[in-house]
């Protein structure tokens, strides 16, 4: 028989295994840092190429004059492409720095940026002097004499007023021990940042909340006497989006912990080689206010390059409960009984169903169409009136507890829905399948169970309007920004749309909230990051104001 290993041998084996594990982790960290560095270098190269292409096109315009309208649009596209690539390169550079910090074998990658012009002299300067130490931090002596100072200039914007904040850090030497000391440098919102938090919040809110592309913002800044290049602004947007992503992740956890969600999506054009593709922005809204729920409302956005059903499956992988949405077939696998971790139950939107009838009964639209307008459908008009009676009941129940809503629906809503179903089935039996109103009727009758589930649960809403309201800004913005510059740009947009819409849902000024978050997030411990969520931020400010 083989003798059992002695304790000394076991100890040596454990030590060797620990050493091997440490070496493997070090190699993994080094490989990760190398990959992040290579990715950052590739992003930087792409941004440089886009910058050179834009410069060449501008020089051609100067040499040969303004050319066709198509060429003018090409210049706009090049500017937008540069904006997206610059922002992506900044994000990748930050990721490479974080990966390099875990190992000493790989050097951090730093992008070579064009030299930035000094801030205009006509801007007022505000000196914020960091308090000098009362005694020498080395020996404790109070015999300090000033040697000089280091000034860091941060460009900040106050509504319609620009100024440069000079942060002064005075240096002192100790007469007793000759030690030179200086207060530490302040935290910047972004690495090597020159933009203050209010300016960054303005850039982000104007771009994603007010749908103003960066090239238009740069033109406005130049008119106000502060020339800033498009690539410089895009660099800050990309870095700020990376800084804010932890808040997006916290909002995602909060949204997916709900018992009921509103879901919807909208198309977004995406710039592609020699053409424009159609991507999608998906939104999932948690809003318990209609049934007097206490959880704060929030919106979670995702981006995808197409509308395949695999995307909502991935977005809602850990969610179980009710999903209020339209009848999009891509949700079907979510409703399967054997789905893990559990099935999702569908509750369909009556606003979608009503819309099919309303188009055939819109008297005002027919007047605008003139003599070529199709006749108003009496059946569609009757359907709209019957559905509106149900909407009238629901308006009275909005904001009341779920039990009270359920009782009122059982008392009044069940009869209205039953009468509507009988009328729809009777009239549909008399119609040809080619009748225009038949399509609207079939949309409801073939999915009747999904439309009537709100009658058995007071938490459910009659419509999916909560999700549609969150997408309304994107539909308006498409006319201003035309398209996303890349898939990475779509992902950044999803993060920012989620943050801004969540702030709006909680009656928080998105720009003021972003400014305060950007000023504090780098100093905030990870365990207290939830304090920066819009509803927590609002509650803390109200408590402080009351005190």
Find the range with the poorest average confidence among 194-203, 434-443, 483-492. Answer: 483-492
Token pair belonging to 464: 């999916």
Q: Is the pLDDT of residue 8 over 70?
A: no
pLDDT in tens, 132-160: 888 998 888 888 888 888 888 888 887 67
Beta bridge partners of 166: 127, 153
Antiparallel, parallel or unpaired: β 344-348 and 275-286: unpaired
Pick the range with the lowest mean pLDDT from 11-20, 116-125, 381-390: 11-20
* pLDDT number for residue 7: 67
* Whether the predicted pLDDT of 441 surpasses 90: yes
Residue with tokens 């990721």: 95
| pLDDT classification of 442: cutoffs 50, 70, 90 | very high
Counted residue by residue, the chain has a size of 547
Higher-pLDDT residue of 539, 191? 539
Q: Residue 483 contacts by C-beta under 8 Å, 6 or more apart in sequence?
A: 80, 268, 269, 270, 271, 276
Q: Which of 148, 250, 233 is closest to 195 using CA atoms?
A: 233
Lowest mean pLDDT among 30-34, 62-66, 393-397: 62-66
pLDDT at 345: 95
The mean-pLDDT minimum among 172-181, 321-330, 478-487 falls in 478-487
* Residues with Cβ within 8 Å of residue 366, at least 6 apart in sequence: 373, 374, 376
Does residue 287 carry a pLDDT above 90? Answer: yes
CB atoms closer than 10 angstroms to residue 173: 17
- Mean pLDDT across 315-343: 93
Which pLDDT value is given to residue 365? 58
- pLDDT recorded at residue 273: 67
Reading across the β-sheet that carries 344-348, which strands appear in turn? 298-304, 275-286, 260-272, 321-325, 344-348
Closest by CA position to 87, among listed 320, 275, 295, 244:
244
What is the pLDDT at residue 79?
67
Closest CA to 265 of 254, 286, 279: 279
Q: Is 337 helix (H, G, I), strand (E, B) or coil?
A: coil
User: Given this model, what pLDDT does residue 271 score?
Assistant: 72
What are the DSSP calls for 85-138, one per residue?
HHHHHHHHHHHHHHHHTT-SSSPPP---PPPPPPPPTTS-EEEEEPPPPSS-TT
Q: How confident is the model at residue 97 (pLDDT cuts 50, 70, 90)?
A: confident
Q: Express as a percent the part of the chain with pLDDT over 90.
A: 49
Q: What are phi and psi of 199, to 5 degrees?
A: -65, -45
- Examine the pLDDT at 228 and tell me if it is beyond 70: yes
- In whole angstroms, what is the distance from residue 226 CA to residue 336 CA? 57
Mean pLDDT on 295-299: 97
pLDDT score, position 535: 97
d(CA 226, CA 219): 9
Q: Residue 60: pLDDT band by 50, 70, 90 thresholds? A: low
Instruction: Look at residue 412 in the predicted model and tell me its pLDDT.
Output: 94
Q: What is the mean pLDDT of residues 188-199?
A: 83
Q: How confident is the model at residue 368 (pLDDT cuts 50, 70, 90)?
A: low
Q: What is the mean pLDDT of the chain?
A: 85
CA distance linking residue 237 with residue 91, whole number of Å: 9
pLDDT of 308 above 70: yes
What residues does each domain of the chain span? Answer: 26-115, 117-190, 194-348+464-547, 350-458
What's the pLDDT score for residue 3?
A: 58
User: What average pLDDT does the segment 160-184 reach?
Assistant: 90
- Residues sharing a CB contact under 8 Å with residue 36, sequence separation 6 or more, in sequence order: 92, 95, 96, 98, 99, 100, 109
Give the confidence band of 57 by pLDDT, cuts at 50, 70, 90: low
Confidence (pLDDT) at 115:
63
Q: Tell me, what DSSP letter sits at residue 206?
A: I
Mean pLDDT, rounded, for 487-514: 94
* 101 pLDDT more than 70: yes
pLDDT over 90 at 407, yes or no: yes
451-500 residue pLDDT tens? 999 999 999 999 999 999 999 888 777 766 655 667 888 899 899 999 99
Report pLDDT for 109: 63
pLDDT given at position 486: 77
Buried b (16+ CB within 10 A) or exposed e, 403-431: eebbebbeeebeebbeebeeebeebbeee
**What does the pLDDT read at residue 67?**
43
Sign of CA dihedral 466, 471, 475, 480: positive
The pLDDT value given to residue 18: 80
Q: What pLDDT does 422 receive?
A: 97
């Amino acid at each position: 028989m083989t003798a059992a290993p002695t304790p000394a041998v076991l100890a040596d084996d454990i030590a060797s295994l620990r050493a091997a594990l440490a070496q493997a982790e070090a190699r993994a960290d080094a490989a990760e840092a190398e990959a992040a560095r290579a990715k950052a270098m590739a992003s930087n190269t792409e941004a440089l190429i886009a910058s050179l292409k834009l410069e060449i096109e501008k020089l051609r315009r100067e040499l040969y004059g303004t050319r066709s309208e198509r060429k003018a649009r090409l210049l706009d596209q090049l500017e937008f492409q540069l904006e997206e690539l610059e922002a992506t390169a900044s994000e990748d550079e930050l990721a490479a720095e974080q990966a390099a910090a875990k190992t000493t074998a790989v050097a951090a990658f730093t992008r070579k940026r064009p030299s930035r012009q000094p801030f205009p002299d006509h801007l007022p300067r505000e000196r914020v002097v960091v308090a000098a130490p009362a005694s020498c931090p080395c020996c404790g002596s109070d015999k300090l004499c000033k040697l000089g100072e280091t000034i860091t200039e941060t460009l900040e914007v106050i509504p319609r007023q620009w100024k440069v904040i000079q942060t002064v850090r005075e240096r002192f030497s100790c007469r007793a021990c000759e030690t030179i000391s200086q207060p530490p440098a302040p935290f910047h919102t972004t690495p090597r940042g020159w933009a203050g938090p209010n300016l960054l919040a303005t850039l982000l809110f104007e771009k994603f909340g007010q749908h103003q592309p960066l090239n238009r913002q740069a033109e406005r800044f130049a008119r106000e006497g502060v020339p800033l290049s498009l690539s410089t602004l895009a660099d800050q947007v990309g870095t700020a989006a990376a800084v804010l992503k932890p808040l997006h992740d916290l909002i995602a956890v909060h949204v997916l912990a709900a018992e009921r969600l509103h879901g919807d999506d909208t198309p977004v054009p995406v710039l592609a080689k020699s053409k424009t593709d159609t991507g999608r922005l998906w939104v999932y809204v948690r809003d318990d206010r209609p049934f007097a729920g206490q959880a704060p409302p929030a919106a979670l956005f995702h981006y995808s390059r197409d509308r395949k059903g695999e995307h909502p499956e991935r977005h809602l992988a850990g969610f179980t409960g009710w999903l209020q949405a339209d009848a999009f077939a891509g949700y079907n696998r979510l409703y399967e009984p054997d789905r893990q971790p559990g099935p999702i139950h569908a509750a369909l939107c009556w606003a979608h169903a009503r819309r099919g009838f309303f188009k055939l009964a819109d008297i005002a639209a027919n007047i605008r169409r003139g003599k070529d307008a199709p006749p108003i459908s009496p059946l569609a008009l009757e359907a709209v009136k019957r559905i509106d009676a149900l909407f009238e009941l629901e308006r009275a129940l909005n904001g009341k507890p779920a039990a009270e809503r359920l009782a009122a629906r059982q008392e009044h809503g069940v009869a209205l829905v039953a009468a509507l179903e009988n009328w729809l089935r009777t009239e549909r039996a008399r119609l040809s399948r080619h009748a225009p109103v038949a399509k609207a009727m079939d949309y409801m009758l073939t999915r009747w169970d999904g439309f009537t589930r709100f009658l058995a649960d007071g938490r459910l809403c009659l419509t999916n309007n909560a999700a549609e309201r969150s997408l309304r800004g994107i539909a308006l913005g498409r006319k201003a920004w035309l398209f996303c510059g890349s898939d990475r740009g779509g992902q950044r947009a999803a993060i920012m749309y989620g943050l801004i819409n969540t702030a709006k849902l909680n009656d928080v000024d998105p720009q003021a909230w972003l400014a305060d978050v950007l000023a504090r997030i780098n100093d905030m411990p990870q365990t207290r990051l939830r304090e920066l969520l819009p509803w927590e931020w609002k509650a803390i400010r109200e408590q402080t104001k009351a005190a």
